[in-house]
Amino acid sequence: MSVQGHLLLHEGKLYMPGGTSVSPAVYDAATGKCLNDGAQLAQCASRMPRGWELSLLGDQVVACGKPFYGHPAYDVYDGTVFNRVFLASMKDTSIAWTADARTQRVMGFKNFDHQGLARKMANPGNRFQVNWGQIAPSTKPAWSAEFKKASAMAVCRNAVLLAAEKELVALSLADGAVLWRQPLPKPPAPWGLAVDGAGRAVVTLTDGEVLCFGPSQGT
């Protein structure tokens, strides 16, 4: 099975998008043994989401997003590509980044219903097409911010950093207020964002340029 995107390690298992009849592929992290059903591999048919991104929702790891071999400049018009959900937590706040064909949202929850999400993700249909409208918890977000397009997200101690279209945006973890914006000369690459222990943000752009932003150094 070839690796077609992200790697995700969860509870002793290594997940990777397969992009074909099996996705995600699952391996025992200790032994390297493939844990997928061999009968699915023998069919050699494209029956699973072809996306290169992986997301942990409840206790399920799902594949979503654009195929790994798709050109980054051109959209793929498929529900399994546009509909994506990613979750992260910091302190008592859960952050959901959701996307569909029209818009993208970042939401902060104080009492996220993780058990309810796990029950909904037990439905295979919700794992094939990750639709926020189908799996959203009953609890309402404490705050919400909308973006036309975003390429990456990082959740930090006091802020949510989003690589939006040609800008880097920092949102308050507490209430979603914009803390600052940093224009970018080119769009950020998909998942081209990282934050180090000193709070510096490193962004990779689609033209290959790498930028680093952080607090100014006093003399």
For residue 201, the domain's CATH number is 2.40.10.480
Residues 42 and 123 in one domain: yes
CB 203 within 8 A of CB 168: yes
- Same-domain check for residues 121 and 163: no
On whether both 132 and 218 belong to a single domain, the answer is no
Distance CA 123, CA 38 (A): 22
User: Are residues 202 and 183 both part of a single domain?
Assistant: yes
- How confident is the chain (219 residues) per 10-residue block, as mean pLDDT? 86 90 90 85 71 94 88 80 93 94 93 93 92 92 94 94 94 96 94 93 95 75
In a domain, 88, yes or no: no
Q: Are residues 30 and 125 in the same domain?
A: yes
**133 plus 49 within the same structural domain:** yes
Q: Is residue 108 part of a domain?
A: no
Write down the pLDDT at residue 79.
81
**DSSP, res 207:** T
Cα–Cα distance for residue pair 22/1, rounded to 1 Å? 9
Does 123 map to a domain?
A: yes
- Any alpha helices (H) in the chain, and if so which ranges? 38-43, 79-82, 114-121, 124-128, 132-135
Residues 1 and 22 in one domain: yes
Last residue of a domain, one of 140, 158, 175: 140
Number of domains in the chain: 2
The answer on 209 and 154 residing in a single domain is yes
For residues 55 and 158, state if they share a domain: no
Do residue 122 and residue 174 come from a single domain?
no
On whether residue 184 sits in a domain, the answer given is yes
Q: Token pair of 105, please?
A: 């949202």
pLDDT of residue 193: 97
Give the dihedral sign, CA 183/164/16/80.
negative
Q: Which domain holds residue 205?
A: 150-219
- Distance from C-alpha of 94 to C-alpha of 88, rounded to nearest angstrom: 6
Domain assignment present for 100: no
Is residue 20 one of the residues assigned to a domain? yes
Q: Is residue 166, in this structure, part of any structural domain at all?
A: yes
pTM of the model: 0.89
Same structural domain, 40 and 130? yes
